[in-house]
Amino acid sequence: MKYIIGKSREQIHLFTNSLDDIIEPNNEVRLIDAFVEHLNIKEFGFEQKRIENGRPAYHPKTLLKLYIYGYMNRVRSSRQLEKETKRNIEVIWLLQQLSPDHNTISNFRRDNQKAIRKVFKKTVEIAKYFNLIGKTLIAGDSTKLRAQNSKKNNFNQKKIKQHLQYIENKLNEYESKLNDNDEQLSEDEKKEINDKINRHKNKKKQYNRLRKELDNTGENQISTSDPDSRQMIVRNNITEVAYNIQTTVDDKNKIIFDYLTTNKNDKKAMGTMLTRAVDILQTNQFTALYDKGYFTGSEFEIANNLNVDILVAIPAPAANAPNPDYNVENFQYDKQNDQYTCPQGKKLTTTGKWHQAKTYKFKRYTTKACKQCPVKPQCSKAKYGKAIQRSQYQELMERNKKRIEKYKEYYRKRQQIVEHPYGTIKRQWGFDHIMTKKTIQRAAADVGLIFTAYNLRRLFNIIGFDKLIKYLIRMVNSIFIKKRHIRHILSRFVPIFFYEIFYQLKLKVA
C-alpha cells in the first residue's frame, strides 16, 4: 500500500517560503495585527518597568498583540503564551519572531488595567463606525468569575471566632497533657507538643490580626490570597470567592459596550451602569432591561433622573398574606388623598411621618378597622392588623410594573441579549475564573482582555475580513504620517494591498 510521504527534515531547499507567505492572506491573525497597529498606543499610557541602561523593553504593541491572540484562542496563561511564541507559526509571524519571557508577559497585563480598558473602548468605536450598535435596546447583567482565592482563605467574624475557639480548646488540651503527664512523657514527645502549641499560638495571632482588620475597615469579610475578592452566591445556595462583573450589551449585534469589575452584589449597580451607558452612547433614548437582582428604589430614581426607560423584573414579595387575595399589591393606592383601600373597602391612612429604614424612607399606613374585620386572619398575622410601608421610591417602582405588564414580550429578550456574551465567554471559551491575583485592578485587566477578545471576535465575524482590513489600514495611514513608518506598516500588508489594487482595476474594467 502506498502512503503520502513527508519531506526530509535535513533537506535544504533552494527556494524557501518567507514567513509572510506561510500565513494565508485572509488569516485573522492579520486582523489582530492591523487592529493593534491602528491604535495610537502612546495615548493609552501603557506602563513597562525596566532598568535604566539595561536591556530594551518590548514594545507595548508586541505584548498587546500576543494577549489579544491568546485570549481569542483560549490561551490566557503567561507561561502558555510564552510557549506559543516558540511553536505557534501564527504567533511567530505576529510577533516577528520575538519571544518575551512569561514574567514580562504577566507584568504587562498586571500593570496596565487602564490602558487595556482604552483598547476595549476602541472595539466599541469600531462597532459604532460600522453602525453595529443600535442604541435603542440594551440589557445589563452580571456574572461571577472565581478569584484566585479558595474559600478556606476567606474569613468573616463568625469563621474567625470558630477558629479561635478551636485553637483555645487545642491549647488547653496540650497544656493539660503537659501538666498531667510531665514525668511520663519523653523529651521528644514534649518537644512535639510544644511545637504544636507554638504553631497554634502563631495561628491565633494571625486570626486576631484578621479580626482587627475587619473591625477597622468595616468590611464583613476578608480574603488573604486576593484581598479584594469576596465570597458571593453564584447560583442557588452555592457560593464562591469571586468578582462580580457588570456588563451592558446592545441588542442589535450583542456587542458589549461597557463593563465594570466589582466585588459587590447587583443591588446598587444599575444606576452606575445606566449613567455610563448614557455617556458612552451619547443618548438616553433607549430602553434598558435588567433582572430582579437590580430591583432597588434608589437605582430607579437614578434612571428617572437620567430620563431612561427601564424594565426591571419584579421580585416576589418578602412577606405574603395568609390569603394571597390580601397581598399588598391588591390594595389600591389613592395618591390624591395619600391612602390605601383594602379589598374589604376600608381606608388605611398615614400620619405623614417618614420612617428611616437602612437605605430608604417610608410612610406607614394602618386602619383601626382591622380589629373588627371578619377576614383579618386571612389578611395579616399581626396583632393589630395590616400595616403597609410605602417607600419613597414606590411610585417609580409602580411605573416600572406597568411597563413590565405592557411590554412583556419586550422584556423576554433580556436573556438572549445579555446572556449571549456570557455563553460564549464561559461555556465556549471556558473563561469562568480570573487569571490574575491580588487587587481588583489586576482582575479588571484580565476582564478587559476577555471582553476585548469577545468584541473583536464579533467584529471579525460580522464585518468580514476585506472590509475590516481596509478600514484598519486606512486608520494606520491616518495616524502614522512619517514615510519611513508608513513603509514599514505597508510592508506588513503587501498581500492586502495587491488585493486592493486588483479590486480597483477590476472595477475600472467593469
Question: Cβ atoms within 10 A of the Cβ of 402, count?
Answer: 9
Let me know how long the chain is: 510
Pairing relation of β-strands 256-262 and 332-334?
A: unpaired
CB burial of residue 433 (10 Å; 0-12, 13-18, 19+): middle
Grade residue 483 by pLDDT with cuts at 50, 70 and 90: very low
Where residue 358 falls (left for φ over 0; alpha for ψ -120 to 50; beta otherwise) is alpha
Question: Percent of the chain at pLDDT above 90?
Answer: 60
CB burial of residue 139 (10 Å; 0-12, 13-18, 19+): buried
| Helices (H), ranges, 295-354 | 297-306
Instruction: With residue 82 as reference, give the H or E element that holds it.
Output: helix 78-87
Between CA 122 and CA 257 the distance in angstroms is: 10
Q: What is the pLDDT of residues 171-200, one digit of tens each?
A: 888 888 877 776 677 778 778 888 888 999
Residue 353 has pLDDT above 70, yes or no: yes
- Helix pair angle (394-406, 297-306), 10° resolution: 70
Residue 9 has pLDDT above 80, yes or no: no
Grade residue 482 by pLDDT with cuts at 50, 70 and 90: very low
Pick the more confident residue, 93 or 173: 93
Question: Percent of the chain at pLDDT above 70?
Answer: 91
pTM of the model: 0.86
- CB distance 480 to 468 below 8 Å: no
- CB distance 270 to 140 below 8 Å: yes
Grade residue 506 by pLDDT with cuts at 50, 70 and 90: very low
Pairing relation of β-strands 339-341 and 347-348?
A: antiparallel
Tell me which residue of 418, 411, 391, 394 sits closest to 309, measured CA to CA: 411
Which pLDDT value is given to residue 437? 87
Contacts for 24 with CB less than 8 Å, ≥ 6 apart:
none
Between CA 237 and CA 184 the distance in angstroms is: 51
DSSP secondary structure letter of residue 428 = I
Give me the chain's average pLDDT, please.
87
Contacts for 77 with CB less than 8 Å, ≥ 6 apart:
435
- CB neighbour burial string for 415-432, b if at least 16 within 10 angstroms, e if fewer: eebbbbbbebbbeebebb
Grade residue 2 by pLDDT with cuts at 50, 70 and 90: confident
Between CA 367 and CA 370 the distance in angstroms is: 6
DSSP secondary structure letter of residue 391 = E
| Alpha-carbon distance values, 79 to 5, 84, 416, 434, 440 (Å) | 35, 9, 36, 16, 22
Which pLDDT value is given to residue 488? 52
Between CA 174 and CA 183 the distance in angstroms is: 15
- CB distance 468 to 31 below 8 Å: yes
Four-point Cα dihedral 316, 320, 325, 328, nearest 10: -80
CB burial of residue 198 (10 Å; 0-12, 13-18, 19+): exposed
Instruction: With residue 355 as reference, give the H or E element that holds it.
Output: strand 355-356
Q: Please give the average per-residue pLDDT across 58-74, as a whole number.
A: 95
Between CA 298 and CA 172 the distance in angstroms is: 52
- Architecture in CATH for domain 137-147+233-315+407-428: 2-Layer Sandwich (3.30)
Beta strands in 52-136 (DSSP E): none
Q: What is the pLDDT of residues 450-478, one digit of tens each?
A: 999 999 999 999 999 999 999 988 887 76
Between CA 394 and CA 375 the distance in angstroms is: 27
User: Which of 8-12, 45-49, 274-278, 488-492 reaches the highest mean pLDDT?
Assistant: 274-278
DSSP secondary structure letter of residue 227 = T
Three cell numbers at 355?
Answer: 420612617
Q: Please give the average per-residue pLDDT across 373-397, as a whole number.
A: 90
Between CA 99 and CA 85 the distance in angstroms is: 5
**Which single residue is written with the C-alpha cell 410594573?**
401
